[in-house]
Structure 1
Amino acid sequence: MERKNLVVVPVSDFETEIGRWIWCLEDVRRTLLEKISGISQQQLDAKLNGHSIGSLLYHIALIEADWLYEEVLGSKWNTKIRSLFSHEDRNEDDTLTHIEGQTLDEHLHRLQCVRDELLFHFRSMDIEDWRTSRRLPHYDVTPEWVIYHILEHESHHRGQIFQMLTILTRKS
């Protein structure tokens, strides 16, 4: 049996501490992508407990982009990124918008475009900016906390997706 080496290795081209957090962010994404690789359109669109895997993938990407543009950059969205989101995130009753009929490739493309944009902006960040609070109407937030939150958010929904896949696999 091959011995594992469980370490966090800072992603190169980033300030070292930021690179460690980026590694964690990318590791969560890697495990998500491995698990959803090759799932069917039916599995992607099936509604369980009020939402689908496709809806969760859309939500993960949208929230990541929102935190990047609204909290970290405090600027208008890149039009290319904005064009990836034709639906609002939530319905009037605060449930996730049901995303149906989009292929796995479309979801993966959206997730990758948003992540590439995030990495682009964090790659040039120094440790001072990383820890500098952005003042918003209802709270102050640092880019460091934003990355923590995005990591936690995606991990949470990754767990939901894994559970949904387990249920959907049993049904088929």
Structure 2
Amino acid sequence: MNRKNLVVLPLPEFESEIGRWIWCLEDVRRTLLEKISGISQQYLDTELNGHSIGSLLYHIALIEADWLYEEVLGGKWNPKIRSLFPQEDRNQDDTLSHIEGQSLDEHLHRLQCVRDELLFHFRTMNLENWRASRSLPHYNVTPEWVIYHLLEHESHHRGQIFQMLAILKRQS
């Protein structure tokens, strides 16, 4: 019998506790990438329940970048990362902007660029900074909570994407 070993291990090059959280974040991304591997442009662009898989991928990347740059780093965006987001995240009615015609490779590139930035900044973080509260106009937030939130956020949208893929496959 091939027995699985279900454990969370800290990623190397990170403070141990931070590395465990980042491992979780990376595991959520890994399962998302496995599921969307090779999907068609039609699947990326088809709107179901008001959004498309492409729109959700854009949203996941933008929210990750926004929390990194605004909450953790105090609003200092890397211009290369900023340029990956030419469209606003939401429409005036608060629905997600429809992202259409961008290839899977473009979406994957955006997701990877943002994740590389996040890993870069968290790799050198110590536990004191990890738990240091940042004071923003409407709330105080720690990098630890940001990673928790990003795990929750991407997991939620990953579930939506998996449901959309199941519907699209049944329809084809």
TM normalised by structure 1 equals 0.99
CA distance in 2, matches of 1:101, 1:73: 32
| Counterpart for residue 104 of structure 1 | 104
> Structure 2: where are the runs of 5+ without partners?
none
Equivalent position of 1:170 in the other structure:
170
In 2, Cα distance between the equivalents of 1:78 and 1:92?
A: 26
The CA deviation at 1:26 is 0.1
Q: Which residue of 1 aligns with 2:147?
A: 147
Partner of 1:29: 29
Tell me the SS of whatever aligns to 1:100.
coil
State the shift of 1:75 in Å.
2.8
Q: Which residue pairs with 1:92 in the alignment?
A: 92
Q: Which residue of 2 aligns with 1:55?
A: 55
Which SS does the other structure have where 1:116 is aligned?
A: helix
Amino acid in structure 2 at the alignment position of 1:131: R
**Using the alignment, how far apart are the partners of 1:166 and 1:131 within structure 2?**
39
Specify the code of the residue in structure 1 equivalent to 2:80: K
Q: Is residue 11 of structure 2 the alignment partner of residue 6 of structure 1?
A: no
Aligned letter for 1:39? I
Secondary structure at the residue paired with 1:115? helix
Which runs of no fewer than 5 residues in structure 1 stay unpaired? none
- Equivalent residue pairs, number: 172
- Between the aligned partners of 1:73 and 1:86, the Cα distance in structure 2 is 21
Q: Which runs of at least 4 in structure 1 moved beyond 6 Å after TM superposition?
A: none
Q: Distance in 1 between matches of 2:86 and 2:76?
A: 16
Superposed CA offset, 1:128-169 (max 9, x none):
000000000010000000000000000000000000000000
Q: Per the alignment, in what secondary structure is the counterpart of residue 138 of structure 1? A: coil
Identical amino acids, percent of aligned pairs = 84
How does the TM-score come out when normalised to structure 2? 0.99
Partners of 1:16 and 1:75 in 2: CA distance: 27
Is residue 43 of structure 2 the alignment partner of residue 43 of structure 1?
yes
Write the deviation string for residues 69-91 of structure 1: whole angstroms up to 9, x where unpaired: 00000032100000000100000
